[in-house]
A and B are shown apart, each in its own frame.
Chain A
Amino acid sequence: MHDFVMPVGPQSPALKEPMLLKLKLEGEEVRSVDMRLGYTHKGVEGLLEGKNVDQAMYVASRICGICSISHERAFIRTVEDMMKKEVNERVKLIRTILFELERISSHLLWAGFMMHEIGFDTLFQYLWREREGVLDLFESICGNRVHKNICKIGSLRYDIAPVQEREVLDCLDSMQEKLKDYEDEIKKNKVIKERLKGVGKISKKTAIEYGLIGPNARASGIDNDVRRIDPYDSYADINFKTIVIKKGDAMERTLLRMREVHESMGIIRQCVEMLPSEKIPKFSLTNIKEGEAIGRVEAPRGELFYFLKVEDGLIRRAKVRTPTFAFIKILEKILKGVKIGDVPVIVASLDPCFSCMERVLVAKEDREEWMTEAEFRRKYSC
């Protein structure tokens, strides 16, 4: 017999993402969990249907603000597979650099949130200060800090100039030592250890059963990394370690992501060193009459999967399976039996992202315009 049901969300100071958890409690202990999603659902798959590939790429890029390049890259990998298109070495390396910069940005954003959840706001601000440097790099290279929109089919929108290569390396050098200090603080600080050690433990067996992916799976002892098992861009030519830890609690998930940031820095440095002097090819409109393909990439939160079906030059079916959608089901399992105070920490430790907003942002030179999806469709007849 449960005492009562406590709703957490969709807008709650304890959750940074809009989801509803109906927790059935007995005293302070959670007995069972009902989950409700969809509060930021904007029907992207429907929006992609009926567009040609070049139009659809802009929509795909805006599915997520944190991992915008991952969505672009997964979309482009799917299309390039469909076209059997090869890209040159410089394009591959620049894509890899940007992809890893995005991973650093995402992991630091998440680590900041994690510290905020446990009440350590000083470290939260320090971590976000370092992230600012990465966002400045995006602004310098892509022209945007959030929705980067840098990739094109077979090419890139902008090349990286030598001065920007230097900026990238300087940024990494300046943050490396500081991040080591922050990592040490996370390892040694008594309060952080009390709040994270042994909390939200996921065994390897449970992780396999629930199809866990990305850093969460790697923190539970599963060696799962699309960059290694199904390499794309320059990952096959680069030395990097897939970090795997076995304990699977919130502490290990935090430390694993911090270590992945250092690994990403190593990848970026190798890529900058390997950049050839050739030019990136000019891009042109894509000409695909029909085809069906899948593509996946290792986004910061795990495997991002795309399926596209094109007929008569238009997309007839698009399926986007985001990493969060693949692992969020595990919450129903791991929240059972925990204390109510640990719920926000456990949810945050998985790094979920329900970023698809109901609105789209239309940038027009010097002004911005916010509108709902229906208004966007009406105005731009799509």
Chain B
Amino acid sequence: MRLVAIVCVQDQGPKKEDFRLLYYFDKGDGKLIKRIRKVGRRSMRTKSIIREHPVADLFEREIHDYYGVEFEGNPNLHVPLFLPEEEKNKHPLLKGEKNA
């Protein structure tokens, strides 16, 4: 199965503390398979899938840059990808008191 994308969604409303990580896989038959992983706002941690899907490295680093989610097992997670050094740990898409 090919990993198509990982989408991080920060839900608003009663459960706004949580993130949903949506993993889309392509089996090659035209339909995408969706797997959902919930990440608590307090822990902000989940497991990396780069062993099974090396392409997930960049996807996970992008989510880390934008939202600050930690992917355990990804050795490149803290290597800057998109954002400049001075923007590190600012997480521009994270909604919260600071970034609202």
**A residues touching B (Cβ–Cβ < 8 Å)?**
34, 36-38, 41, 43, 45-46, 49, 208-211, 213, 224, 229-230, 294, 296, 303, 305, 307, 309, 311, 316-317, 319, 321, 325-329
Contact = CB atoms under 8 A, between A and B. Distances in A.
14 contacts: A36-B81, A38-B80, A209-B54, A211-B53, A224-B2, A229-B30, A230-B30, A230-B31, A296-B4, A305-B5, A305-B24, A316-B12, A325-B62, A326-B55
Contacts of B9: 309, 317
Interface string B50-91: 000111011100100010000000000001111110000000
A378 to B, nearest CB: 17
Contacts of A309: 9
A46 B5 contact: no
B80 A311 contact: no
B82 A229 contact: no
Given A305-B24, A319-B7, A46 B92 contact: yes
Given A211-B53, A213-B2, A329-B55, 15 more contacts: A36-B81, A37-B82, A38-B82, A38-B83, A41-B82, A45-B93, A46-B93, A49-B93, A229-B30, A230-B30, A296-B4, A305-B4, A317-B9, A326-B5, A327-B55
Dominant SS among interface residues on chain A? mixed
Interface in B4-22: 4-5, 7-10, 12, 22
B82 A329 contact: no
Given A46-B92, A305-B24, A41 B80 contact: no
Contacts of A296: 4, 32
B28 interface: yes
Contact of A311 (B2, B12, B59, B93): B12
A41 B66 CA distance: 12
A211 B58 contact: no
B29 interface: yes
A305 B5 CA distance: 8
Interface of B: 2-5, 7-10, 12, 22, 24, 28-32, 53-55, 57-59, 62, 66, 79-84, 92-93
Contacts of B55: 210-211, 326-327, 329
A133 to B, nearest CB: 34
B83 A329 contact: no
A309 B83 CA distance: 24
Nearest to A311: B12
Contact of B2 (A46, A211, A321): A211
B92 A303 contact: no
Contacts of B93: 45-46, 49
A229 B4 CA distance: 14
B4 A36 contact: no
Contacts of B58: 325, 328-329
Most buried by A among B31, B57, B62: B62
A208 B2 contact: yes
B32 to A, nearest CB: 7
Contact of B54 (A45, A210, A316): A210
A303 B55 CA distance: 14
A229 B29 contact: yes
